[in-house]
Structure 1
Amino acid sequence: MTSDQNSPADSDPYLWLEDVTGDAALDWVRAHNAVTEAQLATGERFEQMQSDVREVLDTDARIPYVRRRGEYLYNFWRDGTNIRGLWRRTTLEQYQSDNPEWDVLVDLDALAEAEGENWVWKGTQLLRPHRDRALISLSRGGADAAVVREFDMETRQFLSPDGPDAGFYLPEAKTDIDWIDIDTVYLGTDTGPGSLTDSGYPRLAQRWKRGTPLSSAETLYEGESTDVAISASHDPTPGFERDFVTRSVDFYNSRRFQLTLDDELVLIDTPEDAGISIHHEWLLIRTKSPWTVEDTEYATGTLLAARYEDYLAGARELTVLFEPDDHSSLDHYSWTRDHLILVVLTDVRTTLRILTPADNTWDERPFEGLPELTTIEILDTDPDSGNEYFLNASGYTSPATLLHGVIGESEPTVVKSAPAFFDATDIVTQQFFATSADGTQVPYFVVGTEDSTPGPTLLYGYGGFEVSLTPSYSGSIGRAWLTRGGTYVVANIRGGGEYGPGWHTQVLKSGRHKVHEDFAAVARDLVDRGITTPELLAAQGGSNGGLLMGIMLTKYPELFGAIVCQVPLLDMRRFHLLLAGASWMAEYGDPDNADEWSFISQYSPYQNIDADGSYPPILIATSTRDDRVHPAHARKMAARLEELGKPVLYFENIEGGHGGAADNAQLAYKTALTYEFLWQKFS
């Protein structure tokens, strides 16, 4: 066996592929795209899958998900006509009708054409409480870096960045911005040397006044270059107006401060790894490690409440709102004006609870009237507007249903339902548990027919950053895979949040091997149960899941017949030097630290390619415009595999950002390439 585990960066023959838009690198990309497209983007099956997926993405029958902001419900919508999309709004009364009338605020296709820009929508912030202005973020090609422009909601125009009444405007950067009032914002952006952290995010929290040059913005807080990011925010809730500064020391540890009227910083003294939120008079703290307060220890994953002003003054009277057990964890929560909604996972199945603060206590009751055997998530609440909520319910074979209600006034009512995009009559969902190397029981879902004959199976995994994979409906998977005879599997491996923060924290840094062992255990269990065979088993993952795919290729090649590796991290010797990579050292470790490189080097895919190894075919896909995970990870891995004669195909979308596609057409094309690759291997 020969590998490159300990080779220094300057011996890397493919460093030139790190030049994202260099002529030589892009020539390499185009040449490899041509080979991949010649093999995959052809034939009746590919064309049909591309058409099927595009129909799912473009259909008007999809649910137009909304967010209430004041009197209106806002939606961003793409379809076959509006390729880049429409930002629009309507009223609840209209929304509840079969054919709502939408008030279009921004037509992004028209804007892109008029300005000669490849705009991709990145989001908006409305000025509270009147919501007569918006800060709109637009990306060129889908990158994380975006241009920020002020928009007048009454005139439907972007404000000019010039003149005494100039609109707020910021050039392309990974900007953090928040309204204070109509003439003032909090800001963190790229203003030149020293303004960004090593991770490429803002290092300075500033206050910027309308009509003044950006260079005159007042600095309120300076972080260290080694921090992930610094940010400032304003809460305009009447009677609870407050300002905050957050120093994200690393990806999981933050120091939070309240900014006083005199610009003094008062530390909110909670554990740095805890998640906190402040609503009206309440401070909520979700622990991510055990926390002892006045002789009481609170377990990892506990949700606690305290009166904010009392806590800031030193009181430590804490109320337990949720306490996890071996099977249950808190997935997420959201405030309405007067109530707190909790979403709890019990063996990766959701239940909801409603908590209401009362005199010296909290009343708790189950959330009644919700559909069973579906995953339910809170889509939106607007505490400014009252106790209204929007919930989304779906499952692997159950199309999405949108529910609406008002706590204390009305039960949840279905307001929109998505159509079924594939025939699921003979398709069932089952949950099994695999035993990992250390004895841990790892749950996974199997979606397919109950055919006893082993068949083509696609195993999906992520395993990082406390991201939970819960059952949800996908018309694309249904049409391109399930109805063609494939079985789809989702592994709830450690690294996710399915069993709370501890399911994640135990795999950080030196514990990373548990992620890989869990996924391999699921792969073996699928074979042991007769669901598939190694020759008919494929694995798929993206981003951190793409790293997992690289590890499966180099460490567990005998378990798989094909691998799909998307927007991946793969060169873990240099990940911290590329784009946002430095921000993830809390997850993986520091390759420049010899002790930490000792365990990273054991799995880093790029350094562990075995020249003599036998590997399953792999499709590696990424995006040139991904400014989060550098495309060189994918490029260099493909080049090295190709050099050694391993079966590899490579595709790089020139647009698309970290999502890999900038519009529905690109997404349908990329999806069809993936499934055509798999069906060619398994047919």
Structure 2
Amino acid sequence: MTASEIKMPLPYPPTRRIDVTERHFGHEIADPYRWLENDPHRDGEVAGWAQEQNALARRYLDALPAQAAFRRQITALFDYEQAGVPLKRGSRYFYTMRQGLKQQATLNVRDGVDGPDRLLLEPNDWSEDGADAIAEWDASHDGAHVAYGVQRGGIDWREIKVLDVATGETLADAIKWVRFGNIAWAKDGSGFFYSRYPEPQPGTEAQANVANHAIYFHRLGTAQAQDRLVHATPDRPDLLHLAGVSDDGRYLVIHSTPGASMTMVSVADLTSADWTVRPVAGADFAAEWAAVGNDGTTLFVVTSEGAPRRRIVTFDLAEAALQPREIVGEDEAALQHGWLVGGRLILSYLVDASTELRRHRLDGRPDGIIELPGIGSAGIRGTLADDEAFLAYTSFNAPLTIYRYEVSTGKRTVWAEPTIGFDLGEIAVEQHVYASKDGTRVPVFVIRRKGVQAPAPTLLYGYGGFSISLTPYYAPTQLAWVAQGGTLAIANIRGGGEYGRAWHDAGRLLNKQNSYDDFIAAAEFLRGEGIARADGIAIQGESNGGLLVGAVTNQRPDLFAAALPGVGVMDLLRFHHFTGGTFWKYDFGDPQEKAAFENLLRLSPYHNIAAGKPYPAILVTTADADDRVVPGHSFKYAAAIQAAEIGSKPRLLRVETRAGHGAGKPLDKVIAEAADMWAFAARWTGLETGRS
């Protein structure tokens, strides 16, 4: 097939319909494609249907003239070395390194400040297709061992292994059924803490609900069956538990959450024999509580309790009755994170969705601002006792650069700076503010190549959920759209965390429609201001952002030329039946409660396809091994839009294999998927490629 031979409407593969109707709160809900929820690795009919869909998508996408240009552009933008933020342990510095066009990042170590760099873990040799990756990892405090998670084919399940740093030998220790957690070494290097689930029934690993998360301690040289259970909540099987060890090694700090951003902080004194877990704050899950670190028995905590934009309080763990004491009050800017580094408390604020790093003394007194290279996103890593820290900075036109930062002097020197084969000085970044439907002022970043004449074909990206903030960051995939003459717009819609908890709350539960109104208003603003072509807006989002794209496409199909929903939650009435979906109830609402159900029924992409209206061109993307947002969401949605009378523009489904929700995806698959999406969007927005 060539570009001139693409015919409309397309010959979509036939999709079997079944008679499934359920009654919920007085509503008759038909679900004719429920059989597509089945795991494609265990159901041959679902697998065959997905293969037919993929074959049609491939014929169409491979014929698009822009695909090759985008593939070349994205490949070139990824072809550089990118170091991660170093973790200092003893005299060693551990860091990840993505080298050019290798599929996965490696784990490296540097012995001493100016010592030689050495490769520790090479995941590119773990599988033929490069789909296995290093997941969470941590080095022991003496730098002798690294415990690391292995992620296979993009799934959320991990297996933890242990490496001897000096010899490069992998030890016999092996930990299975790890998911949604981290790794934290005991100070003495005897072992590490981790979070896991009970072993699932055979054959249910990909879709079974997850419950009864628990924290264990693994002692080196022992079998997993001997691991010590440290913390579990059988009365609350819905909670996630993440453990960290304080820099001084005295405390195990546990954060527990039922989902969204409501958290509880607990501690266990590791100098005691019984490691009794003691609640500190947040047992009612009514606010955010996140421990920053400790100075002796003083625990520093970020909280939204009484402060929607958050504040810093301390607890004296030596006291019998724990009471918070405020040391840094709420500010106009939204407090995001905090670190205890070099005898200082360093706080990260968002000022109109960009980072500002502020220094404080340990009693809360201001101690200046850390100057950043520009408007962007930044964070820091270090310990309270060490003056040496590492600062990471990135922006839309600046790849991640790592600086060595001396806390006492404020001196900053480059530790690792990528060299990009593209003139980033050609990229202009602007920030605009527009009014949403209810008058709320919402910011939007606009990124374009200097000299590009507006209005231009525009890619509008959004997320709007789970208090996740869209701050400036360097993304080769998105930059490729800009490099080829398109405009990229990123809207900071409600549901995110850009302005604190109130901004999140304004876009979740019964307020979820606000997120969609904000996104629609962003498109109208871009068009009205002459930034985007009137008929040239493509929208894209993934996961909760895929839900966003599906929802606004139903609500305003006239506004968009193309829609790119990726790994989206497309059935809002049944998301809680699969894997970790129950955690999302705290953002979406519980479909088993009437008020929430009524709201979700109005928003669900699968249930609100507006027959009789012409829709934009739609390319749905998912992966067959996604065990977070199972592919059944995208399968059912694709079947429904292909069956609906919504015009003649294509409605395609692209299914990646040996990939999951996104993390750990090999680079060649990242490049191929983005090239397909941008070529599809270019076809329908009128973007002409061929720039160098």
Greater displacement, 281-290 / 328-337: 281-290
Structure 1 SS opposite 2:364: strand
The residue type equivalent to 1:301 in the other structure is R
Greater displacement, 16-25 / 670-679: 16-25
Describe the superposition over 1:651-678 as per-residue Cα deviations: whole angstroms up to 9, x where unpaired. Answer: 1111222117621111111110111001
Residue of structure 2 in register with 1:668 after alignment: 671
1:653 aligns with 2:666: no
How many Å apart are 1:82 and its aligned residue? 4.0
Distance 1:404 1:616, change over 3 A: same
Residue of structure 2 in register with 1:252 after alignment: 261
Kept in 2, the 8 Å contact 1:58–1:78? The answer is: no
1:108-507 equivalence runs, <5 A: 108-112=123-127, 119-127=132-140, 129-160=141-172, 167-170=173-176, 177-180=183-186, 182-192=189-199, 199-200=209-210, 202-209=212-219, 213-224=223-234, 227-231=237-241, 233=243, 235=245, 237-238=247-248, 241-260=250-269, 261=272, 262-270=274-282, 272=285, 273-277=287-291, 278-281=293-296, 282-290=298-306, 299-310=307-318, 312-314=319-321, 316=323, 318-325=325-332, 328-357=333-362, 361-371=363-373, 373-383=374-384, 386-423=386-423, 427-448=427-448, 449=450, 453-478=454-479, 480-507=480-507
How many Å apart are 1:252 and its aligned residue? 3.1
1:585 aligns with 2:594: no
Residue of structure 2 in register with 1:296 after alignment: none
Instruction: Give me the whole-angstrom Cα distance separating, in 2, the residues matched to 1:121 and 1:654.
Output: 19
Kept in 2, the 8 Å contact 1:540–1:564? The answer is: yes
Kept in 1, the 8 Å contact 2:469–2:492? The answer is: yes
The residue type equivalent to 1:472 in the other structure is Y
Structure 2 SS opposite 1:620: strand
The equivalent position to 1:89 in structure 2, one of 105, 109, 113, is 109
Kept in 2, the 8 Å contact 1:168–1:210? The answer is: no
Residue of structure 2 in register with 1:98 after alignment: none
The residue type equivalent to 2:311 in the other structure is L
How many Å apart are 1:10 and its aligned residue? 7.2
The sequence identity of aligned pairs, in percent, is 24
Instruction: Give me the whole-angstrom Cα distance separating, in 1, the residues matched to 2:221 and 2:427.
Output: 60
Instruction: Give me the whole-angstrom Cα distance separating, in 2, the residues matched to 1:527 and 1:122.
Output: 41
The residue type equivalent to 2:580 in the other structure is A
Greater displacement, 571-580 / 442-451: 442-451
The residue type equivalent to 2:167 in the other structure is T
TM-score (norm 1): 0.87
How many Å apart are 1:270 and its aligned residue? 4.3
Residue of structure 2 in register with 1:523 after alignment: 523
Distance 1:657 1:237, change over 3 A: same
Residue of structure 2 in register with 1:594 after alignment: 594
The equivalent position to 1:104 in structure 2, one of 111, 119, 124, is 119
Residue of structure 2 in register with 1:681 after alignment: 684
Kept in 1, the 8 Å contact 2:123–2:130? The answer is: no
The residue type equivalent to 2:54 in the other structure is N
The residue type equivalent to 1:285 in the other structure is V
Kept in 1, the 8 Å contact 2:159–2:174? The answer is: no
Alignment: residue pair count: 648
How many Å apart are 1:519 and its aligned residue? 0.9
Distance 1:215 1:673, change over 3 A: same
How many Å apart are 1:546 and its aligned residue? 0.6
Describe the superposition over 1:280-330 as per-residue Cα deviations: whole angstroms up to 9, x where unpaired. Answer: 23323333342xxxxxxxx222322324325x43364623314222xx211
Distance 1:495 1:168, change over 3 A: same
Residue of structure 2 in register with 1:40 after alignment: 61
Kept in 2, the 8 Å contact 1:422–1:483? The answer is: no
Structure 2 SS opposite 1:29: helix
Kept in 1, the 8 Å contact 2:83–2:96? The answer is: no
Structure 1 SS opposite 2:281: coil
Distance 1:264 1:342, change over 3 A: closer
Greater displacement, 362-371 / 144-153: 362-371
Structure 2 SS opposite 1:390: strand
Distance 1:314 1:418, change over 3 A: same
How many Å apart are 1:481 and its aligned residue? 1.6
Kept in 2, the 8 Å contact 1:186–1:208? The answer is: yes
How many Å apart are 1:76 and its aligned residue? 2.3
Kept in 2, the 8 Å contact 1:50–1:669? The answer is: yes
The equivalent position to 1:79 in structure 2, one of 79, 89, 99, is 99
Structure 2 SS opposite 1:33: helix
How many Å apart are 1:337 and its aligned residue? 3.8
5+ residue gaps in structure 1? 96-100, 161-166, 291-298
Residue of structure 2 in register with 1:164 after alignment: none
Kept in 1, the 8 Å contact 2:281–2:289? The answer is: no
How many Å apart are 1:201 and its aligned residue? 5.0
Kept in 2, the 8 Å contact 1:467–1:497? The answer is: yes
Greater displacement, 28-37 / 669-678: 28-37
Kept in 2, the 8 Å contact 1:428–1:450? The answer is: no
1:491-640 equivalence runs, <5 A: 491-640=491-640
TM-score (norm 2): 0.86
How many Å apart are 1:198 and its aligned residue? 8.2
Instruction: Give me the whole-angstrom Cα distance separating, in 1, the residues matched to 2:663 and 2:53.
Output: 17
How many Å apart are 1:44 and its aligned residue? 5.6
Instruction: Give me the whole-angstrom Cα distance separating, in 1, the residues matched to 2:190 and 2:349.
Output: 41
Instruction: Give me the whole-angstrom Cα distance separating, in 1, the residues matched to 2:402 and 2:224.
Output: 43
The residue type equivalent to 1:87 in the other structure is L
The residue type equivalent to 1:418 in the other structure is P
How many Å apart are 1:602 and its aligned residue? 0.8
Structure 2 SS opposite 1:300: coil
Kept in 1, the 8 Å contact 2:309–2:335? The answer is: yes
The residue type equivalent to 2:652 in the other structure is L
Kept in 1, the 8 Å contact 2:546–2:567? The answer is: yes
